[in-house]
Chains A and B, each alone.
Chain A
Amino acid sequence: MTSFLNALRAEHIKSRRSFAAWLAGAGTGANLLMFWVLHLADTRWVHAHDNPWRGWVTGHYQGIAFMMLPLFVIILTSLVAFQEHRRDMWMQLLALPTARSALFFSKFLWMYGLFVAAHLAFIVGMLLTGALTGLLLPATGLLGHWPAPGQVALLASYTLFSVLGLAALHFWLSLVFRHFIIPLTIGILGFVLVQLLGPASFLARWLPYGPPVQFMPAYESGIVWQWQPVVCSLAYAVVFGVVGRWAFLRMRP
């Protein structure tokens, strides 16, 4: 356990000024800015529900479910692994008196932690830009209501669970393929395939790229909690976690 925690602390030191940390921060900021501009340009969300915050939050999650979630996770995962591939750092990492499983899971947890931190920052930014919008445009009614904590918690939970399978798949791919472009290309193809099939199609529902883009359309149609994408994502996380660990144990620097 100590070696796992030490490896996790080392990941924290490594992430300073890294591309992955930069992406988590700048990517989240850029998305917030884009969604803010879009919500100011088209204010139909104000009257979609009794509470304008419901439309504000739903609009933001529609945006990230379509473009941010899958690609963000794919790029983030690739960057975390590429940091080690790029300078052959595996030669040093695999010569540590630390069990390979501890190295594998600490790196995966750190990568997922970056995603969670970016998503929490997204939620805070979404609420702050909402309040600012209410201040600038009183007619939206945002300052006259409170955001619904249950809605935010539900959509945040969907988001965090739905990307786990995809993250595990791409963590494995990023370890196996040393060139950044290969897992990225596979990810983009998977993402495009799901979009072409349609998120609600039978095949897309069972692909690891499906869950992150699947829950929002169902949520908008009134289905509050959906087990299928969550269970599917968790199952993929277990399968690719096992496969990835197996590959990592056999990895040669």
Chain B
Amino acid sequence: MQPLLQTTHLSFAHPGNDPVVQDVHLLVPEGSLYGLLGPNGAGKSTLLKLIAGLWRPTKGDIRIFGRPLAQQQPTLYKRIGLQIEGPQLYHHLSGRENLRVFATCRGLPEKRIDELLALTGMTDHAYRKVGAYSTGMKQRLGIALALLPDPELLILDEPTNGLDPTGIADVRALLHHLQQAGKTLVVSSHLLAEMEQICTHVGLLHQGRLIAQGPIGELMPGNGQTPLRIECAAPEQALPLLPGAVRGADGLLHLEVPGKEHIPPLLEQLRQAGILVYQVRITPMRLEERYLSLIKEQP
């Protein structure tokens, strides 16, 4: 797949402050669903504003659709749709009126509004004031707003924020549907487990730096690595004895060994240190664990 969006040495800092985004080399292939993942404060929204051309980088270049971004404004916005730190909606207007404001600015017909209301499941709520909408309805209308120009590239910032499990599943299905329809999506999230289910590619952000990116399968440990989870009596004492181990959010120790034959020596080591082992499980590594192990490798 060709890169639809590419950044080189991209950096951004507010005047007089530390950089929020540092030396990012982003590569988003055409037709991919690219998950820009990281915890709150990692620099995801800032990076999205930079690649959308809303903020100017302190350093570095952005190429989009094969050309420098700066040469394409504002016509670029005929080809991209976005929802960053949103959804941004006029609360005194109805859902349909919100879409009409931006459809009018873009010179789009009324038919396009009906299509998007149907696509996002908002037809029945189109005439209600947005101020009375639930968080999920606002999110869906925000996505509809981003889809107005039928964009080739869709940039969405935390589209599942504040949604209940059903709402999250709906958005996930919608994003998957859009990717299958040939659109390229860049979606930021701090919910790594959620994004793991739908992304074709991911970029992992940590303190403004892109610490890893690529097809999701390639980011996971290579062949021959056996991911383990160990529950023991004193995890903090056990950590120094297990090379590469990290403590997961579930309280278990997460580590990788080259093969099953390496498990008994590890257990023996723990036994000799007087640490009781309650359970050892071989589990496929999840994106969240991979992220934590990558952070640990950072200088």
> Which A residues are within 8 Å of any B CB, using their own CB?
2-3, 6-7, 9-10, 13-14, 16-18, 83, 87-89, 91-100, 252-253
Q: Report yes or no: B107 in contact with A91, Cβ–Cβ below 8 A.
A: no
Across the interface, do A88 and B85 meet the contact criterion of CB distance under 8 Å? yes
- Provide a sorted-by-A list of 10 A–B residue pairs whose CB atoms are within 8 angstroms: A3-B105, A6-B105, A14-B90, A14-B93, A17-B93, A91-B85, A95-B52, A95-B82, A100-B74, A253-B49
Q: What's the Cα separation between A216 and B80 when bound, in Å?
A: 53
Identity of the chain A residue whose Cβ is nearest the Cβ of B72 in the assembled complex? A97
B72 to chain A: closest CB distance in Å? 10
Which residue from B74, B78, B145 sits with its C-beta under 8 Å from A92?
B145
Stretch at the interface among B95-103, B119-127, B223-231: B95-103
User: Which residues of A are found within 8 Å of B92, using beta-carbon distances?
Assistant: 16-18
Distance of A203 Cα from B248 Cα, bound (Å)? 70
Q: How distant is the Cα of A87 from the Cα of B105 in the complex, in angstroms?
A: 18
Q: Are A6 and B88 neighbours in the complex by a CB distance under 8 Å?
A: no
In the complex the two chains form, is B78's CB within 8 Å of A97's CB? yes
User: Which residues of B does A touch, CB under 8 Å?
Assistant: 49, 52-55, 74-78, 80, 82, 84-86, 88-93, 97, 100-102, 104-107, 145, 149
Closest Cβ–Cβ distance, residue A247 to chain B (whole Å): 15
**B140–chain A nearest beta-carbon distance, Å:** 16
Q: B106 is contacted by which of A13, A88, A96, A99 (Cβ under 8 Å)?
A: A96
Q: Which residue of B lies closest to A12 (CB)?
A: B104
For A16, the chain B residues whose CB sits under 8 A away are: 92-93, 97
A6 touches B104 (CB 8 A): yes
| A91 x B84 contact (CB < 8 A) | yes
Contacts of B101 in A (CB 8 A): 10, 13-14
Given A2-B107, A9-B104, A94-B54, answer yes or no on A88-B86 (Cβ-Cβ < 8 Å): yes
Name the distance in Å between A239's Cβ and chain B's nearest Cβ.
Answer: 26
Given contacts A96-B102, A97-B75, A97-B77, contact A13 B93 (CB under 8 A): yes
For B56, the closest partner residue in chain A by CB is A252
Q: Which of B74, B82, B91, B104 contacts A10 (CB 8 A)?
A: B104
Q: Give the residues in chain A near B88, CB-CB below 8 Å.
A: 87-89, 91-92
Is there contact, CB below 8 Å, between A10 and B107?
no
- A87 x B90 contact (CB < 8 A): yes
Distance of A95 Cα from B82 Cα, bound (Å):
8
Chain A: CB-nearest residue to B89: A87
Assess the B54–A91 pair: CB atoms within 8 A: yes
Interface contact B74-A97, CB-CB below 8 Å: yes
Which B residues are CB-close (under 8 A) to A6?
104-107
- A13-B97, A97-B76 known; A92-B102 Cβ under 8 A: yes
CB-CB nearest in chain B for A93: B105
Q: Is A98 a contact partner of B91 (Cβ separation < 8 A)? A: no
If A6-B104, A6-B107, A87-B89 are given as contacts, then 17 extra A-B residue pairs at C-beta distance below 8 Å, sorted by A number, are A3-B105, A7-B105, A10-B102, A13-B97, A13-B101, A13-B104, A14-B90, A17-B93, A88-B85, A88-B88, A89-B90, A91-B84, A91-B85, A95-B53, A96-B74, A97-B74, A97-B75
The answer to whether B74 and A98 touch across the interface, beta carbons within 8 angstroms, is yes
Residue of A whose beta carbon sits closest to that of B54: A253
CB neighbours of A95 from chain B (8 A): 52-54, 77, 80, 82
CA A96 – CA B76 in complex, angstroms? 9
List residues of chain A with CB within 8 A of the CB of B89. Answer: 87
For A14, the chain B residues whose CB sits under 8 A away are 90, 93, 101
CB neighbours (8 Å) of A97 from chain B are 74-78, 106, 149
**What's the nearest-Cβ distance from chain B to residue A53, in Å?**
40
Tell me the bound Cα distance from A3 to B78 in angstroms. 13
Which A residues lie within 8 Å of B86 (CB)? 88, 91-92
CB of B113 to closest CB in A, whole Å: 12
- Cross-chain contact B85 with A10 (CB below 8 angstroms): no
Contacts of B100 in A (CB 8 A): 13
